[in-house]
Structure 1
Amino acid sequence: MIDGGYPGSAPMILKSIATLGFAIKDVKILLNSHAHLDHAGGLAALQQASGAQLWVSEADADMMASGGASNRNMAPVNLLVYLGLLKYPSPRIDHQFQDGEQIRLGPIQLTAHLTPGHTPGCTTWSFPVRDGNRELLAVNVGGLTLPMPASLFDWSYDAVTKQDFEQTFKTLRSLPADIYLTPHARAFSLKRKLQERATAHDPVAPFLDRAGYLEDIGKAEAAFRKTLQEQQKQ
């Protein structure tokens, strides 16, 4: 399972797993896209319910272990964490992974691609899926926006964050993504694609969206360049 939603999301996730005909104990590995409240908040509860091992990127491990605080956060963000507004229950970290590491469970294999910027250890996951005779690559993009909630404060890219985003755009463009996913369903138009699948001759076709994948990377990079340009004028 990738991500655990907010701290209050765990009961809904547990119910959804049961509705799909699975038991929470069937979940053996928990993964994370990045260590923000809305993606890591429910991991502790899901870990307790499942007994699963949690794998976290080495660069986000300190943030995860502290429930959202990090020495790479802006001071106002850490303050909000310490005040409890952005803090979440700290899960047990069983393993830390690095860029390019592969995680296997039976026939399933996922590859971790570090795509930092949104957080220091923000991770994009890729994994092969088979549709009949076709083998496709699904890519779940970890995050491409400013570090939360940078837009609320007078914040500028530091040298490390600039370098992180530059590398992230390069990494994502290098992945031969067939199926484009993100932790936020709206970002990759899941509702529209599900509607199209209902009437499509090939139910997989609406999800074959490399064009949308590259378009969103381009939009994120354009926003990044625009912000940099505005900051250089100040």
Structure 2
Amino acid sequence: MERQGAAGGGPAPGALARAWDALVATARRTVADGLVVGTSGNVSVRVGDTVLVTPSGVAYDGLGPADAVGVDLDGRRLFGELTPTSELPMHLEIYRATTAGAVVHTHAVHATAVSTLVPELPPVHYMTSALGGPVRVAPYALYGTDELAAHMLRALRDRTACLLRNHGTVAYGDTLTQAYDRTAQLEWMCRLWLTAVSVPGRTPTLLTPDQLDEVTEKLKGYGQRK
């Protein structure tokens, strides 16, 4: 990481080190919050044209500064000895197609369950608007393949998150915090919908496109203004 920053004209070593620490903390949070089990799922963050990614098959609680893995937007390794996540094609497709600063992929239980039931998560809650609209389910394809990455990118059109059929979730954001929050929000909405549809003889009400548009406008002023 030091050599790449000093001689390669890329991000400063300090920026890469801070980004790696934040990435590891986010990856550990996915485990602590039950969004992944073991070494499933993966996280990445973009610093300039360098993409830091979690390595394949390594427990997050064992990752340290020396384990940093960085690639360019074409997937060429810039530094690191460990093999990047097998889902690198998905991460890179998002960075090449959007302004994403971070990507989180999980195998969250409720979201994965929903991915096996419907082609799109019904708009059961107004936070659907925070993800760009009803969350689509990308068709199944073998993990780690360009085919899966292509399916995912189509499902993400005008969205910041999607479900992967019989697989899990993908969400991106400007920052690791935003990407993680969108992931957690998606899992919560999937759990909410599964809970609602499980009530015998009852059908959950859904929000209309006009209601979602109204929320989208209101969310533009949400939070603290600087």
Structure-1-length-normalised TM-score? 0.29
**Higher RCO (Cα < 8 Å, 6 or more apart):** 2
